[in-house]
Structure formats: structure tokens, C-alpha cells
Amino acid sequence: MAKLVVHVLDAAGLLSKHPHSANPFVEVHFDHQKQRTLTKHTHLDPYWNEELLFNISDPKAFPDKTIDVVVYSERKSGHCPDFLGRVRLSGMSVPLSEQDANIQRCPLDRRGLFSNVKGDIGIRMYVIHDHESTNKDTGVKTFHSIGAKRPPPVGTRMDFARTGLSVMTVKHLPIQMQSPEFALVETSPPLPARLQSGYRGKDKIISTYDMVEQMHFLYVNVVKAQALPAMDISGRLDPYVEVKVGSYKGVTKYLEKNQNPIWKQSFAFPKERLQANLLEVTVKDKDLVKDDFVGKVVFHIPEVPLRVPPDSPLAPQWYKLVDKKGIKAEWEVMLAVWMGTQADESFPDAWHSDAHSISHDNLANTRSKVYFSPKLYYLRAHVIEAQDIPSDKSKPPPDAFVRIQFCNQGKVTRSSQMRVINPIWNEELMFVASDPFEDFIIITVEDRGTGEILGRVIIPSREIPQRIESTKLPDARWYNLHHPSIAQTEGTEKKKEKFSSKIHVRLWIDSGYHVLDEPTHFSSDLQPSSKILRRNSIGVLDLGILSARNLLPMKNKEGRTTDAYCVAKYGNKWVRTRTLLDTLAPRWNEQYTWEVYDPCTVITIGVFDNAHTNGSKEDAKDQRIGKIRIRLSTLETDKIYTHYYPLLVLHPSGLKKHGELQLALRFTCTAWANMLTLYGKPLLPKMHYLQPIPVRHIQLLRFQAMNIVAARLSRAEPPLPREAVEYMLLDVDYHVFSLRRSKTNFNRVMSLLSGATAIYRWFNGVCIWRNPNTTCLVHVLFLILVCYPELILPTIFLYLFVIGIWNYRFRPRYPPHLNARLSQAEHVHPDELDEEFDSFPTTKHIDTVRMRYDRMRSVAEKMQTVVGDLATQVERAQAILGWRDPRATALFIIYSLMWAVFMYVTPFQVAAILIGLYILRHPRFRRNFPSVPVNFFKRLPSKADMMLL
């Protein structure tokens, strides 16, 4: 039988209930088992060093169990001990072997609101099996004494602020049911925004780069040279400049046959890596055998001036070159040398010293850039009918249908109900269009039986009218159909036909919709396409991409580690950090800002390995390392969040952590009134509710929009790789059946239904007088409500208000992140992973098994979606008073208080009549939009944000 070992070491800084001292002991509760240590008399820093053993009856259920470690102070006989603090730990966090167990310093928690607790306790827990417990005593409890001398504390916390050391303190957050390996890690980097001294003096970076650690760089801007001498016998000079600091060296492009070259190229050397006090700028002549020395300029780095924005750029100056003999020559080079930070405008385009091995052709792929997605619209085509379709009189009329091709998107109508020369379709097709409108719409009428093209017309998309909101549709037009050879002829006069086939089509562009290009539940932008209909900004989101650690080596076969860069996407703005070469712990310290138009949106950050460095193939693809998503509504306003986020990826072999990404986040609200009113408005623009898009079209349109965005960004310079864009926008096989996801959604629902069970147990306890005080209080409350029924609703709303205020203490203190335990990904069975990563349809060889397997997955997919949606709705209801969205909870409890006061001063009958009449109001007084409570409810967050998809 497996056993749980709880090694209680010591406690420190306990708070005594009496003026003299305490007599502390520890009591441990696990699975209806209780054990305690010896009592240490008159000591506020007791040392026990005792091991307590507990039986584990069901090892499979052990991760769901909790271990309660309570510290008491023993009093005189006959008196209850004083409570000094407790720690509650999950079985999920207990190592399964003694070798993996470490000493934990856990701060003691309070038992109630008025408890006064101080100090922490050192414990060490692990699981042993029968063959490992032969050396343990068979008694219920064993004590081991190692000597009177107390060993030095292991794993104790250090107060870096008190010692004055500039060391970043790191602590794991107490996340329930989450393995420490996959948990969020809170950090305290020295950000200027947290340092009051950064607001004055020389730290002007606080105004622009206050969310990242300040990094200093030595910048060298090589502009041009003049009157350079000819170095070859033929009078030819191919000059280039070499900038060297210690072992770091950067080289400009060489210019052929140019004695007055212009380079305009910048170099950046991190100050912390400078290995010398001299900066050498050398002009050389490119040669086949050995490059010739032209001249150089030397700078003393300690004398280089410091420049920090918003200072104006440093003006370049002419410097005389010194030849080999140390004599100043007549030729000059124009340079600018200064010490700056990453806020400098030269930072994004500079050639950084860690990329000195990158060629000029690949250098652009390593720089940080900002991209913008193209503006997307929905293009609609209403195919009505056609006239005089050409047909052979000796044969029956063709089985005609219409094919529309637009921007690599092709869709077809159904066949006409009747095979006639004037077919009628009356069918609408939808496409995704992007600005500027440069593509053509190709409408073709074809015969389904023979595949023959009966006619074609080509229409420029720039001629299609736009419609804003639900205004009147544009008039349908008749277009002449021509033979394909005629329709494709341009620049020549088309043949005039006596009788021309025509097609009746209504084409228009809808700009009142929001074109979805990312998952609807992880949307970062909810604005309509039309700029006229967009809302005003309600705040600003600042993101500091600080660093990463323990990244997965992606280039082991090449003798390197990882060339990592990050991509962040929010709204239509994409950002890409610079690539840091050959390191598993990159430090970017780059900051970006977005305007926020809706707090119920999500920002996505991904980490990739750059495959477009030296020696890379043209078709090489950047490899995914991991991504995270953060919902803005779960962030408190003006609070700075600094954490290490685990990059979790699910593989066929199991859950893997590919490293940790350190971010700094801050959401600043600039329009509180506008933001609070958004909670009562629909998530999407009005058109989505007035004329909803069929569900069967949404996924296909989103896929088409993603392709347009990926194609446009991949053509930028430098290109944002298509594979990176698709990884940021796409959830692969999210709706395909997975037994793991089905169990996750089922457990989400069951955990919420457990609340009803708890209420029943509480009521049953009241009935059987388990707690006489509570039962008497319920009797009094019951009699009051029976005698005064008008107090029922005010009491309910007041109770909701009090519960919301009470839960404020337990509000989340960190952003949501991927929860491996919630996603059933930590200990998933290999057979379940094999099923999840199996292709659909299955690749099994037996036909019968394939048919049954596919049918089961198809049915279970629908059940999984329904259960997941149900869990999301229930979790939103639970989040009303859970402070997951602090603004929404604050609005609700204030609204509850207002209703409590209103119902108190208003007679119950009057309120009931008003509410009843409002519910039964005439349809004339109803709107097609969702009501304010429905909009408020749909904006609430759920645990779907924390699921590993």
C-alpha cells in the first residue's frame, strides 16, 4: 500500500495569542486520518523534525485529495488549543518519490476574517510504496531526532529588499490542483514603472519604456565617407566599414567602385557585454585575397555621451581617418556614436552584436517589426436567375449551376430546380474581401452534367457598392454572359451578339460586420469593418516581453540551440520581437502598446524558433515553441502583472513544457464610463444580430479570412511567416472529438454541480441541528420572511452583495493561464492520446472498427461541444460574484445593492406588477437586440480561458 509521508521540520515567526509565549504543535489531516507532532513549549520558532505517515487508500484519487497542516498552541488541560495558522496543499503537488521532494516554506493562512496569523512552516512531503517503507516504523506515527543542534534552514526565503541586493525574487503562486512544474510563477523584475526614482532625473525612459528592464546599448551610426583614396592599381575602391568592440564585430555592405560611399547603417552593442573600452571604426577595401586597410577612428567608450528619448537624435559628425602610421589623412567618415537604451529609434533597425554572424540578406528576418492586418469585409453575392442559357435543341436543357470565384475562394450554388433555359436559383453566397479591392469577381454558369461552361462574366470588386448596417440592399443587376474566350479578352472590342445570355445578380460589400479571423472565444477585436461604426478607445494595454528561460532546443542537429523570437497579436496590430540567436534564455526587454476598445478581449503571445538565419533553406518553416492567451477583463486596472508563463504543448507522447516566457502586463483605463457601459452592450456589431450569419458558414469564412491575413503578412518586409500567423489564429482540431477534452468538460460541469450538493448538505445539517446556533438563526430568519414577505427580495439582493464583498478577499491575484490539471493533460493515458492525435477518419485497418470508431467520435464530438458550452454558461454565472472580472463583479454588487434599497422602499405588490408587466410587454416595445442582462452575462469570463486546447 502506498503511504504519504509528511515531514514537519519547523516554523518561524509564529504569533502568540498570549503575552508570554506559545506551546506549538502541528496537526495534519488527510483522508479522514489525523496525526500530530510533539508540543514544543514556550517557543515561537519551534523545531520538530518529525515524520508522519498516512495510508493512501485509493492512489488514483490521491491527486484530488487535500492535506491540511494546522499549527496550534497547547493550553491548559480542558481548554481548546489556540489556532496559530494553517496550510492547505493539494495531493497533485506531492512528489511520487523521496528523491524529488524538496523542503517548502509555506506562509500560514488565516482560518477566518478575524484571525490574526503570522509566520510560516517548513514541510517536506512525498509518497512511498510498500517496498520503500521497510525501514519505516509500522506504528501510526514515528519521530526521528537528528540531534539537539538545529541544522541550517534549507529552502528558506530571503528578503532581498532588506539586504539591498538587486536580485529578482521569484515565488510560486499557490494554484490549487496544478502541478508546480506547470504553474504560473510570479516575478519582481526591476521595472521603471515600479521605481519611484524612475520618474525624475535621467531615467526619462519611464515615459515610454517603463514595463521592461532598462538595457543600455552602444550605438554606432555609419552614415557615409568622402574623398577616399583608390587602393588598387586600377584606381578601384570597394569600401566597407568594420565596427569592432572587443570580440564583437559588425560589417556594413561594400559598395563597388565608390570613393564617396553612403551606407546609413546602425550597429548596437549591449553595454553589459562590452569587453573593451575602445571602439574601432575601420574603413576597408574589399579585395579577393586580403582586404586593404584605408583608415580608422578610435573612440573611448567611457567618454561616449548618453542619449535617452525624448532627446532629439544625435547629429553625425565628420571624423578624420587615421592611416596605418597613426597620421590623420585627408579622407573623412561621418559617424554618430552614443550610449542609449532600447527606447532609441535606432534600436529596431540596428545590427545587433549577437547577430554578427547573420548575412545582410537574412538580417531583416531578425529585427523587431510592427505589422497591421488588412481591413476585411464580407462580400455577398445573391444569385437570382439567368436568361437564355445556351442549349442544344436536340438535347434537354442543361443542369445549370453558378460558380463564383473571388480571391482564391470558390463557391457554387445548387442546381436549378427545373432544367430550363431560364433557371432560377435565388441563393446567396458569402466571401471575404480585403482592402484595397483589387481582385476580380468571376461568375460562371456551368452544366453539372457535362461540365461545360455556358457563360462567364468578370466584374471588378472596386465597382461593388458598400452597405453600412442594415440599410436598403443595392439593386440587383443583369450582367451579360459571354463565352469564356470572349470574357477573358481585354483591350479588344468584344463580339456583338444578337441574343446574349444574362444573369441576374445582386452584389454588395457589408461593412457593418466584424470579420472573424481568430477563434470567437479568443477574439482580440470585435469592431465592425466600417470605421464610422467603431467605438472610441476605452484604455491602453502595455505589454513588456521581458525574457524566457529553459526553452526547448530546436536546432540540436545543427549544433545550435534556439533562435527565439516572440509574436504578439491584439486587434489588427501584430508585433514581432528581434531574434536572439543560439540561446535558451533570451532577454528581449521590448515593450509594445495597443489601444483597447473592449475589455472582454484576448491578447495572444507566441514563441517561435527562427529558421531563416544563415544557411537556412528558402522553404524552411519557423518552428512553434508555445503560445499563451490572456483575457483583458481578468486584469485589474493600472496593476502591473509580471509572471513567468509556462509554454505547454500537448504531444502524442504527453504534455511537454517547452520553456517559460516572462511578461509584464498593464491595462490602463482612460474612459471608465464608456468601459462600464460596454458590459450592457452586445459583444459583436449590430449586424450580427439583425442579420445573423448562418452557423455553417462561420468556420469557413474564418478560415478564408485567416488565409488572407497570412498571405498579406507573409509578403511584408521582413515577412511574418505564414506558419506563425496560422499558429496564432488557429486552434487545430478544436471541435474534433477528444476523450481528454470530453472528460475535461464533464469534470467542469460536475465541479459546478457540487455546489448544489453542498447546499443540500448544509440544509440537512440545519434540519438535524448539527450546529444549534445556525439552526436557531435560520428559524428566526424563516419566521421573519414569512411574516414580512416584502423582505424576501431585498434580503436576497443584500445577501448577494455581502457574498460579493466577502469573495473580494479571495479574488485571483494573477492572470489566467493554461491549467494542465483542468485540461486533463498531466496524467492522460497513452491510449487516449493515440486516439486524440489519430486522423479523422481513423487510420485503423478493420472496416467495421473504422465505421464504429468514426461514428462514436462524431456523436461524442457533439456531446463534447454541448457539455463544454453548458460548462461555460455555468462558469459565467459562478464568475458573477467571483471577481474574475473585477469591473463586472463591482457593477453587479452595486446593482444588487440598488435593487435591495429599491425593493425595500417599494411595496412588494408594486414591484411584482412592474416586473410582470415588463416581462409580458407587447412585442412593439421589444427590440431585436439581446437585453442588458443577457449582454452582461455573455461578457463574463469562464474557465475556457485556462484550458489547454
Q: What is the pLDDT of residues 898-922, one digit of tens each?
A: 988 988 888 877 887 787 777 766 6
The percent helix, strand, coil of the chain (3-state, each to 5) is: 25, 30, 40
Q: Which DSSP helix (H) or strand (E) runs through 852?
A: helix 847-878
Can you read off the three cell numbers belonging to residue 677? 457601459
Q: What are phi and psi of 617, to 5 degrees?
A: -75, 155
Helix axes 886-905, 792-807, angle to 10 degrees: 160
Quick one: pLDDT at residue 205?
Answer: 40
Q: Which DSSP helix (H) or strand (E) runs through 360?
A: helix 360-363
Q: Specify which residues 395 forms β-bridges with.
A: none
Cα separation, 904 vs 760, in Å, equals 29
Can you read off the three cell numbers belonging to residue 757? 450538493
Quick one: pLDDT at residue 412?
Answer: 93
Q: What are phi and psi of 909, to 5 degrees?
A: -65, -40
- At 496 the three-state DSSP class reads coil
Cα separation, 87 vs 69, in Å, equals 5
Quick one: pLDDT at residue 138?
Answer: 41
Q: What is the pTM of this model?
A: 0.71
CB neighbours of 188 closer than 8 A, spacing ≥ 6? 168, 169, 170, 642
- How many other C-beta atoms are found inside a 10 Å radius of the C-beta of residue 246? 15
Comparing CA positions, the residue from 303, 409, 378 lying closest to residue 704 is 409
Comparing CA positions, the residue from 624, 651, 647, 626 lying closest to residue 723 is 624
**Regions of the chain with pLDDT less than 70:** 17-20, 77-78, 112-115, 130-179, 195-208, 355-357, 484-499, 614-618, 732-736, 845, 848-849, 851-852, 855, 858-859, 862, 920-923, 926, 949
Cα separation, 924 vs 843, in Å, equals 57
Can you read off the three cell numbers belonging to residue 947? 484550458
Q: Specify which residues 399 forms β-bridges with.
A: none
Quick one: pLDDT at residue 926?
Answer: 67
Can you read off the three cell numbers belonging to residue 10? 519547523
Cα separation, 801 vs 114, in Å, equals 20
Cα separation, 945 vs 949, in Å, equals 10
Cα separation, 281 vs 273, in Å, equals 18
- At 178 the three-state DSSP class reads coil
Bond before 646 cis per omega within 30 degrees: no
Q: What are phi and psi of 930, to 5 degrees?
A: -60, 150
Do 536 and 677 touch, CB atoms closer than 8 A?
no
Cα separation, 251 vs 240, in Å, equals 7
Question: What are the distances in angstroms from CA 147 to CA 48, 49, 144, 339, 498?
Answer: 11, 10, 9, 58, 112
In this structure, the strands spanning 501-510 and 3-12 are unpaired
Do 933 and 896 touch, CB atoms closer than 8 A?
no
Domains in the chain, please, with CATH? 2-129 (2.60.40.150), 216-353 (2.60.40.150), 375-486+498-510 (2.60.40.150), 531-729 (2.60.40.150), 739-946 (no CATH)
Comparing CA positions, the residue from 771, 740, 750, 706 lying closest to residue 838 is 740
Comparing CA positions, the residue from 517, 524, 528 lying closest to residue 470 is 528
Question: What are the distances in angstroms from CA 85 to CA 123, 155, 188, 873?
Answer: 14, 20, 27, 37
CA 297 to chain centre: 48
Do 670 and 540 touch, CB atoms closer than 8 A?
yes
The DSSP string of 103-158 is -EEEEPBPSSTT-----EEEEEEEEE-GGG-TTS-SSSEEE----SSPPPPSS---
Q: What is the CA radius of gyration of the chain?
A: 35
Quick one: pLDDT at residue 155?
Answer: 38
Cα separation, 678 vs 469, in Å, equals 19
Cα separation, 582 vs 806, in Å, equals 50
Q: Which residues of 902-915 are buried (b: 16+ CB within 10 A; e: fewer)?
A: ebeebeeeebeeee
Q: What are phi and psi of 65, to 5 degrees?
A: -85, 160
